[in-house]
Amino acid sequence: SQLEQVTILGATGSIGVSTLDIIARHNDKFSVFALTGYSQIDKLFEQCVAYAPRYAVVANADAAAQLTRMLKLQGNKTQVLYGEQALADVAGHVDVDTVVAAIVGAAGLVPTLAAAKQGKKILLANKESLVMAGGLFMAAVKHGGATLLPVDSEHNAIFQCLPAAYESLEHAGVSRVLLTGSGGPFRDRCRSELLNVTPEQACAHPNWSMGQKISVDSATMMNKGLEFIEACWLFNARSDQIEIVVHPQSIVHSMVEYADGSVLCQMGMPDMRTPIANCLSWPERIEAGVERLDFTRLSQLEFHAPDFERFPCLRIAIDAINQGGTTPAAINAANEEAVAAFLARKIGFLDIPSVVAQVANGWSHGEPSGLADVISADQEARALAQRYITTLK
Ligand code: NDP
Ligand code: MG
C-alpha cells in the first residue's frame, strides 16, 4: 500500500498518545506498524484495538503473555514481542518508513540508533539518546541515510527557522540560536522555597502536559541543559552559538538570529501535536487539531536571562558538552538516577543538581569509540550517583 508505515517507540507515553492522535486524523496517509509500551499494558491493549499494528512490544515475557491473551479474546491479530532486542527490531524493520522515538531516558538509545542505521525517517523526541551518544548517533544517521527530524518543540522551532540545507551555521548567516524555555513551575521561587517542594509540585508544569521525568527536568531546568546539548548535535552548533532565553508564556518556541539582524521565530500554542505533525508531514503541512493563537488576547510575551545560580543544572550541562567525551552521557545517567530518587521521595529537590554535579566533577573519560563505551559510562555514572544518593538520606 501507499500508506507510510510508522513505528512508535513509547506509544503509551505523552508523546506517543499525541502522535496517535495525529495519525488518527490522517489515516489516509499513515498506518501504524508497531507500538511499544513498558508498564501500561491496558493502555497498549486499547491502542492495539484502535490501530491494529502488526507488532506490539512490551517489557517482558509475562507482560507479553498477558497482552496476547487480551488481544486473542478480541480476535486482534497483533503479534506481541518483548524485550530490548524487539524494540530495535521493530524500529529497524525493513517494512518501516518512520520511527517516532518517544521512549523516555537512556532506554531509548539502542532502538533509536537501530532506526538511524536502517535509514529510517526518525521523529526524535528522546533527546537523551543524542545527549548520551551525539557523535555516534549523528554518524549513524549519516551512514544509514536516515532523516532526522526534531520533535522537541524548541528544536522543531529552530529547524523551521533554519534554511533547508546548510554547510555550517556561519555559512547560513546564522549569528545566534536562541533556545527558549518557560523556566518551569519554580521559575520565580528562591532557593529556600525550593528546598521542600514535592514531586507533585515539580510535575505540575504551568504550560505543558508531559511525562514525569521530563516534568522534573523542566523544574530543575536540566531539561533546558539537555536541550542545549541536543541543539549542538542537531544543528551542528558550537556551544557559543546557542543562548538560553527564559520565556514564561511558551508561545515563542525558539528563535534564530541572522547576521543582518533578522530574528526568525516559530510561534504556536504549547501543544506537542504541532511539532509532531510538522515532522510527520515534513516538508508538507497537515492539520493537527491544535487551538490557534489568538493574538488579540496575547497580552504579553516576556523574555528574561536564565538564572544559573538557582538552576545549576544549566551550567553543568553546558560544561559537559564543552568537555565532550562521555561527560554528557554521565550527567544524563546521574540525572536519571537523581530524578527517580526524588520521585520516590528518597532525596529532596535540591539534591538533584548536587547528585549531577557530584558525578560531573572529576569525570574525565575520552571520546567513546563505540556504543559499548557509552553504555559503560552510563552504568558507571549511575553507580556513582547511587553511592552519593545513599549518603544524602
Ligand atoms: P512518558 O513518561 O509519558 O512516556 C514514556 C514512554 O516510554 C512510555 O511509553 C513508557 O511506557 C516507555 N518506557 C518507559 N521506560 C521504558 C523502558 N525502560 N523501556 C522501554 N520503554 C519504556 O514520557 P514523555 O512522552 O513525556 O517523553 C518521552 C520522550 O520525549 C522523553 O525523552 C522526553 O524528554 C521527550 N519529550 C517529551 C515532551 C513532552 O511534551 N512530553 C516534549 C519534548 C520531548 P509505559 O508508559 O507503558 O511504562
Ligand atoms: Mg522541549
- Find the radius of gyration of the CA atoms of the chain: 20
- Asked if 311 contacts 359 with a C-beta cutoff of 8 angstroms, the reply is no
Element (H, E) at 74: none
CA of 169 to the centre of ligand 1 (A): 31
The letter for the amino acid at 377 is: A
Residue 2, classed as helix, strand or coil, is: coil
Residue closest via CA to ligand 1's atom 7 equals 103
Residue closest via CA to ligand 1's atom 40 equals 210
DSSP at 147: E
pLDDT at 75: 96
**Nearest ligand atom owner, CA of 83:** 1
CA of 260 to the centre of ligand 1 (A): 40
Q: Which residues are annotated as a binding site for NADPH?
A: 12-15, 126, 128, 211
Residue closest via CA to ligand 1's atom 9 equals 10
**Nearest ligand atom owner, CA of 108:** 1
To test the pocket of ligand 1, the residue of 82, 84, 129, 210 to mutate (highest count of ligand atoms within 8 Å of its CB) is 210
CA of 187 to the centre of ligand 2 (A): 16
* 14-35 as b/e: b if 16+ CB within 10 A: bbbbbbbebbebbeebbbbbbb
Joined together, the cell numbers standing for residue 380 give: 558507571
* Residues 316/321/326/328 CA torsion (nearest 10 deg): 50
CA of 15 to the centre of ligand 1 (A): 7
pLDDT at 1: 56
CA of 154 to the centre of ligand 2 (A): 5
Q: Which ligand 1 atom lies nearest to the CA of residue 87?
A: 20
CA of 226 to the centre of ligand 2 (A): 9
Cis peptide before 283 (omega within 30 of 0): yes
Alpha helices (runs of H) in the chain, residue ranges in sequence order? 14-25, 41-51, 61-73, 84-92, 109-117, 127-144, 153-161, 191-194, 199-203, 212-220, 222-234, 273-281, 313-323, 327-343, 351-360, 371-392
Task: Give which of 36, 25, 34 is closest to 6, Cα–Cα.
Answer: 34
CA of 124 to the centre of ligand 1 (A): 12
Residue closest via CA to ligand 1's atom 36 equals 125
CB-based contacts of 95, cutoff 8 Å, min separation 6: 5, 33, 54
| Tens of pLDDT, residue by residue, the chain (393 residues) | 589 999 999 999 999 999 999 999 999 999 999 999 999 999 999 999 999 999 999 999 999 999 999 999 999 999 999 999 999 999 999 999 999 999 999 999 999 999 999 999 999 999 999 999 999 999 999 999 999 999 999 999 999 999 999 999 999 999 999 999 999 999 999 999 999 999 999 999 888 889 999 999 999 999 999 999 999 999 999 999 999 999 999 999 999 999 999 999 999 999 999 999 999 999 999 999 999 999 999 989 999 999 999 999 999 999 999 999 999 999 999 999 999 999 999 999 999 999 999 999 989 878 999 999 999 999 999 999 999 999 997
Task: Give which of 265, 277, 264, 308 is closest to 123, Cα–Cα.
Answer: 277
The interface predicted TM-score (ipTM) is 0.99
Q: Which residues are annotated as a binding site for Mn(2+)?
A: 152, 154, 227
To test the pocket of ligand 1, the residue of 123, 214, 224, 274 to mutate (highest count of ligand atoms within 8 Å of its CB) is 214
Distance in angstroms (rounded) separating the CA atoms of residues 122 and 177: 23
- Asked if 135 contacts 143 with a C-beta cutoff of 8 angstroms, the reply is no
Alpha helices (runs of H) in 93-221, residue ranges in sequence order? 109-117, 127-144, 153-161, 191-194, 199-203, 212-220
Pocket of ligand 1 (CB under 6 A): 10-16, 37-40, 102-104, 107, 125-128, 152, 208, 210-214, 272
pLDDT at 154: 98
Distance separating the N- and C-terminal Cα atoms of the chain: 58
